[in-house]
Structure 1
């Protein structure tokens, strides 16, 4: 074989090896670590998992990311314990070699994983935790949050609460970060709009362990004009049942966080509290093109209607995929930079992850509860764009540590 032939053969072999290497690289999946309280609150987290599974399937069906790499999710249950969530996060990053973390439900768990992300320089999208601290007081370069915070949803409800003639208010909320944050935001925002109101009693039942009888009795004893409720899940059901039986809600306005979400409203069935002002998700009534496409795809895939958790799971992984494509890389620092100002079109409409505090502008539906066909539904609702319920940049700068 002459030198020309050998050179040509080497060139061909080199091209084949390069092509093979490129194909192998393209086939290498992009791994995402996902953590949530699946056993702790399945009513929300199972639909949430369905949502992100649908998003991942859609991304992969379209050819994946970065030239053909498929998304692969390594999912773990944190058992509702911050220490377990941090241990799992470490395993996912160090052993499973995930490029980012996503998920968590409870606020104190979200804060624990956020702290891990900051210390280990790992991108974390907090899907569900609502405490303001995630993006403000304890915010960091590596953490972003999808859902509207307690401040944002409290601000949405305060718009309606301020119109009520009520002056004497009581509050009931689970005694952990989420409940504390929600009550603090609601009180401050309502007092700013209505200096004449006063808060005459607060009840702080342990999450998942409400003594509904004594809680209702204490609230009744305060003789309020209106109630701000932050309980959810099984605690909400117990509170509604006991409050109805004991007449707590008779001739009193109730403003309630999350109660209009199908996860919490549907289990109440015919006991749904009519007239409550709530944030929620009237999934069967939203007819925008983006929501209809999502709802149709979800129902076809799971033979079930979506819950709010489904929207959250789907949109979280929409955002991750969009950030990876925008960054053109799975490098952490490039992903973090890509998340700042990232725009996606979620099933609820356009969402932007703000650069100033990493809070997404996803909104919520605000309306009232009514009974129709023996079950609770939202009526007189509107979509409240999250971007309109955030404080001015200078206020955010005061509350958020500098990176």
Structure 2
């Protein structure tokens, strides 16, 4: 199932190796990582593999400043309290040098607050809520993945082109879903002032009553639907929506659905023509992605998911930052990360000094049911640097620190 061209043309991945030249320091750099492995395995199993690949590459190249990298992971059980306890144990007992991780947005916020209280460096790898870098932003926290604002800003121009007036919205009722919907509404209203939001369903995460939610959306007779559900909730929503004809003759714009973690399980239930953000690993022809793909495939005999890219890029980011700082000291690392540039499988990434958000982008395209397999077609990479609010807007949103 893998494209031969990837194997034929790709080289061994050495992303970031130039930034990792050994210097005099010796020892071990301990990276502490906290995540919801049991609760969100579809994303986090590939994510962990991506991290382990990055650690292997870095150590094979001589480590960071002459020190080997050690990854120590903990499971947070999808609970913010457990996440903070795990972080405390990593810092106090394991004596880690930095923290990373977080999948669910409420857990990311809890870890960011822990970092602030303990004055300890934290790279939020996956959680998407805008609050991590804006309203609740702090000097100790940086974030890798494109935020809900960024991904909404990528989708809204496509949504506006549909010229649909009546929109229904469905999202998981916790921080990520609330953040994504608030941004989508504001940006779409600005782009299309006559838009109306005629129905809104916000089931608890992981507890979707698909029949009642789909029926409530259908009863509102919307012209289009904005979906923010993911994982098992997405699968239930799609199945019930197909059964009840919710998507028939209606446009759907959907955040994250083009990620293979969520698209692959849909199989022959994959709807055609949804506008989505995602990761079409099978068609990305850039040198940096080909190199990553080949290294990942050789190690795991599998194709990467978006989680693989995020985990890999998080460890590479930390290594590049520590190399630039010539230290894992928190204050030196903060200075190094402000404006830090590195190459990732998605291209160049820069950590913005003004809000600590990286410029990693996302692919936007459409879903297609290709002989019973969910794929993305007509996709384009959107550079995250182009989907940010102005510096003046950021200054209003983010506390000074």
TM-score computed with the length of structure 2 as normaliser: 0.93
Write out per-residue CA displacement over residues 131-177 of structure 1, whole angstroms, 9 at most, x where no aligned residue. 00000000000000000000000010001000012100010000000
The residue aligned with 1:233 is 231
Q: 2:391 aligns with which of 384, 387, 393?
A: 393
The residue aligned with 1:359 is 357
Max Rg structure: 1
Counterpart CA distance in 2 for 1:92 and 1:46 is 20
Structure 2 residue 289 is matched with structure 1 residue 323: no
Write out per-residue CA displacement over residues 204-256 of structure 1, whole angstroms, 9 at most, x where no aligned residue. 01101100000001001111000000000010000000001001001000000
The residue aligned with 1:350 is 348
Counterpart CA distance in 2 for 1:271 and 1:263 is 15
- How far residue 26 of structure 1 moved from its aligned partner, in angstroms, is 5.0
Secondary structure at 1:30's aligned position in 2?
Answer: strand
Trace 1:69-148 onto structure 2 (pairs within 5 A). Answer: 69-148=67-146
Counterpart CA distance in 2 for 1:355 and 1:165 is 37
The residue aligned with 2:374 is 376
Counterpart CA distance in 2 for 1:65 and 1:265 is 36
* Runs of 5+ consecutive residues of structure 2 not aligned to the other structure: 1-23
- How far residue 27 of structure 1 moved from its aligned partner, in angstroms, is 4.7
The residue aligned with 1:337 is 335
The residue aligned with 2:243 is 245
Counterpart CA distance in 2 for 1:399 and 1:282 is 33
The residue aligned with 1:223 is 221
Counterpart CA distance in 1 for 2:40 and 2:270 is 20
The residue aligned with 2:202 is 204
The residue aligned with 1:14 is none
Counterpart CA distance in 1 for 2:64 and 2:287 is 25
Counterpart CA distance in 1 for 2:169 and 2:72 is 39
Counterpart CA distance in 2 for 1:356 and 1:401 is 11
Counterpart CA distance in 2 for 1:63 and 1:198 is 57
- How far residue 398 of structure 1 moved from its aligned partner, in angstroms, is 0.3
Counterpart CA distance in 2 for 1:28 and 1:101 is 18
Counterpart CA distance in 1 for 2:99 and 2:186 is 33
- How far residue 374 of structure 1 moved from its aligned partner, in angstroms, is 1.7
* Runs of 5+ consecutive residues of structure 1 not aligned to the other structure: 1-24
The residue aligned with 2:35 is 36
The residue aligned with 1:47 is 46
The residue aligned with 2:300 is 302
Higher relative contact order (CA 8 A, sep 6+): 2
The residue aligned with 1:172 is 170
TM-score computed with the length of structure 1 as normaliser: 0.93
The residue aligned with 2:58 is 59
The residue aligned with 1:19 is none
